[in-house]
Amino acid sequence: MNDPVAALIARLLAERWLPREDELARQALTDAGFREELDRRLAAAGLRLLDHPYAAHVGIAVAKAQEAAVFAGPKAWSASNLGLDRDAVALLVVLWSLLILPKRQRQISRIEADRDQEQAQIFAEMKPVPVGEEVAEPLAERTLLADFGDRLGGKMRINMNLGALARHGFIVRRKERIYEGPLLDLAFDYERTARRVLDGALAFVVEQARQSAREDAVDDEAEAGHV
């Protein structure tokens, strides 16, 4: 029996994320009837679809109503069901702030620029939200260690936690640089978390890290110019 909704749920459970361009994922995002049935079946199992129009992937998560049943332990509320320690979760928040917040600003700026251009053209076509490497810049590991090493347990602990986050699909590490992974843009509720980061205790240290990243980029360009 052909059941595309069941197939999509099974794949999301098995693979943990799918690109938005996947045929069934795209159907869930564009077909109202398909999405309604998907949401109904997921809710019946205490789950929900993770989706953000600016994210390149979709995923699956525990439904809000079932979070207490999953995360509320006898002693404390668990930060995740992935076995991540508190410092790993803190690192995840920092990486989300340094990789996703700037990316979102670039995406919004790109969309606004395209909208202005489209308004000047009579038969302009709507362009998809940019989600690729043209708006997602990596973070140098040396920048992360320099700015957050003393706050997140030192080099050895950060390296261990980076490995854990990479295994879970939050980040990708290549040539001592940290790139956004499939799940990073889905890890937090952007509308709530972005405001808390930008207005809260992380605002200052995140701005410091961004400045260091800009300086590293200038140094890298200078080194490349002398090669």
Q: What is the mean pLDDT of the chain?
A: 83
Say if strands 139-140 and 171-174 run parallel, antiparallel, or are unpaired.
unpaired
Q: pLDDT value at position 216?
A: 61
Q: pLDDT value at position 6?
A: 97
Q: Hey, which of 46-50, 65-69, 196-200 has the most confident mean pLDDT?
A: 46-50
Task: Report, as an integer, the average pLDDT of 60-89.
Answer: 82
Contact (Cβ atoms closer than 8 angstroms) between residue 186 and residue 98: no
Query: Does 215 have pLDDT greater than 70?
Result: no
Query: Does 75 have pLDDT greater than 90?
Result: no
Task: Report, as an integer, the average pLDDT of 1-12.
Answer: 94
Backbone phi, psi, residue 183, to 5° = -100, -10
Give the long-range contacts of residues 18-26, CB within 8 A, separation 24 or more: 18/57, 18/58, 18/59, 19/56, 19/57, 19/182, 20/55, 20/56, 20/57, 20/58, 20/131, 25/58
Q: pLDDT value at position 106?
A: 82
Q: How confident is the model at residue 137 (pLDDT cuts 50, 70, 90)?
A: confident
The closest of 56, 83, 80 to 179, measured between CA atoms, is 56
Q: pLDDT value at position 211?
A: 67
- pTM equals 0.79
Q: Hey, what's the torsion of the CAs at 57, 59, 63, 69, to 10 degrees?
A: -140
Strand order through the sheet with 139-140 = 139-140, 177-180, 171-174
Query: Where do the structural domains in the chain lie, given as residue ranges?
Result: 4-71, 86-225
| CA-to-CA separations, 204 to 187, 208, 211, in angstroms, rounded | 22, 6, 11
Greater pLDDT, 200 or 52? 52
pLDDT digits (tens, 9 = 90+) for 83-133: 888 889 889 999 998 898 888 888 888 777 767 666 655 544 556 666 666
Angle at 195 between CA 190 and CA 199, to 5 degrees: 150
Q: pLDDT value at position 221?
A: 58
3-state secondary structure of 178: strand
Distance CA 130, CA 101 (A): 14
Say if strands 57-62 and 17-19 run parallel, antiparallel, or are unpaired.
antiparallel
pLDDT digits (tens, 9 = 90+) for 153-201: 899 999 999 999 999 999 999 999 999 999 999 988 877 777 777 666 5
Contact (Cβ atoms closer than 8 angstroms) between residue 18 and residue 25: yes
Q: pLDDT value at position 20?
A: 93
